[in-house]
Amino acid sequence: MTDRIEAYAAFARLMELGSFSAAGRQLGISQSTVSKHVAGLENKLGVQLFTRTTRRISPTPEAAKIYEHVQRMLDAVDTTHALVKGQEPEATGLLRLALPDSLGRSLMFPLLRSFMNAHPMISVDAILTDQWKDIVAEGLELAVTTATPSEGSLIMRTIRVFEWWVVAAPAYLSAQGTPETAIDLESHEIIRSSRTATGRVEFDSENGRQVVQLTGRLYTSSDEAAYQAALAGGGIAIVPSWLAQSDVNSGTMTRLIGEYYLPAITVSVVYPQTRFLSRRARSFIDYIVAAVAAPARDTPLKSRR
């Protein structure tokens, strides 16, 4: 029975890492032992689990069909062993997830490094994209998003709510003056990006709403690029607070008209409601929520509409 569990563990790591040598390193066994375990499992099940060439190892449809069930079984075995020893089970394997491009670069990647340090048996494949459509079909365990996904079978857990900030470098403000209200932005050079693409922006405040028409000679689809241009003194930018927080705290950038605000940005992690959530995925979710001090609640998306 022990040999069979080891064979399933070798299969799972090979599915996740795509390399006999990498699977062996993570399991603490030789590459040839991994190969032997997988070959024995194929003989036992009577199906081919991987196609092998000199350059690539690819899972077969049969392997993809059983992987989730194997992972569930291995998690149960690890939990049992850990409980008997009075220990916490260790999260292992490859975590594939999607991160929004700007948020991923600015906030999530530093957290990924510390997460991996805390969980040395987990590897991470982080895809920077805002355009994923189907978590399961794209081979992801979870995704961090700033939008409400259209899939009704997903669970959404809020990580944190961020604001849009109006910011500028002190050098720009010294040369061009400091806007005091939202309407004052109309007379300034605005570096437009995703939130201000059309130029027309509606600010709310305790004194009511102000609709402003922003103008500027530079437009970019990237909030990061707009922020860097503003940081260099090229104008005023309206960007997610995660881009500007550090520089505003240090005085390198100045936050403007803070009493005027735009709809907030809700950052959430989503994962399939109907699929087994691995220990590594649960560990990541708990770590990220704690790291950014977010409220924690799981709610099916379809009940949020």
pLDDT in tens, 239-260: 999 999 999 999 999 999 999 9
Q: Which DSSP string do the residues of 85-130 spell out, in sequence order?
A: TT-PPPP-EEEEEEE-HHHIIIIIHHHHHHHHHH-TTEEEEEEE-S
**What does the pLDDT read at residue 57?**
84
Is the pLDDT at 98 greater than 90, yes or no?
A: yes
Query: Closest by alpha carbon to 168, among 216, 212, 221?
Result: 216
* Block residue for tokens 């006999």: 20
Is the pLDDT at 55 greater than 80, yes or no?
A: no
CA–CA separation, 5 vs 11, rounded Å?
Answer: 10
CA–CA separation, 169 vs 55, rounded Å?
Answer: 51
Average pLDDT over residues 103-130: 90
**What does the pLDDT read at residue 194?**
81
Query: For 247, left (φ over 0), alpha (ψ -120 to 50), or beta?
Result: alpha
**What does the pLDDT read at residue 265?**
93
Going through the chain in order, the beta strands assigned E by DSSP cover: 50-52, 57-59, 93-99, 122-128, 142-145, 154-162, 164-168, 190-191, 200-203, 210-213, 236-240, 254-256, 265-272, 298-300
Query: Closest by alpha carbon to 161, among 56, 261, 73, 302?
Result: 261
Residues contacting residue 210 through CB under 8 Å, at least 6 positions apart: 181, 182, 183, 202, 203, 260
Residues contacting residue 272 through CB under 8 Å, at least 6 positions apart: 135, 136, 153, 154, 155
Query: Closest by alpha carbon to 131, among 107, 99, 94, 103?
Result: 99
Asked if 238 contacts 195 with a C-beta cutoff of 8 angstroms, the reply is yes
> Which structure tokens are listed for 290?
């704690």
**What does the pLDDT read at residue 304?**
40
Is the pLDDT at 74 greater than 50, yes or no?
A: yes
Is the pLDDT at 2 greater than 70, yes or no?
A: no
**What does the pLDDT read at residue 143?**
92
Query: For 278, left (φ over 0), alpha (ψ -120 to 50), or beta?
Result: beta
**What does the pLDDT read at residue 150?**
63
Asked if 296 contacts 157 with a C-beta cutoff of 8 angstroms, the reply is yes
Residue 105 vs residues 124, 230, 243: alpha-carbon distances, Å: 15, 18, 10
Asked if 270 contacts 135 with a C-beta cutoff of 8 angstroms, the reply is yes
pLDDT tens figures, 127-165: 998 888 778 777 788 999 988 766 567 888 889 999 999
Percent of all residues in the chain with a pLDDT value above 90, rounded to a whole number: 43
| pLDDT band per the 50, 70, 90 thresholds, residue 203 | very high
pLDDT tens figures, 179-190: 999 999 999 999
**What does the pLDDT read at residue 224?**
93
Percent of all residues in the chain with a pLDDT value above 70, rounded to a whole number: 92
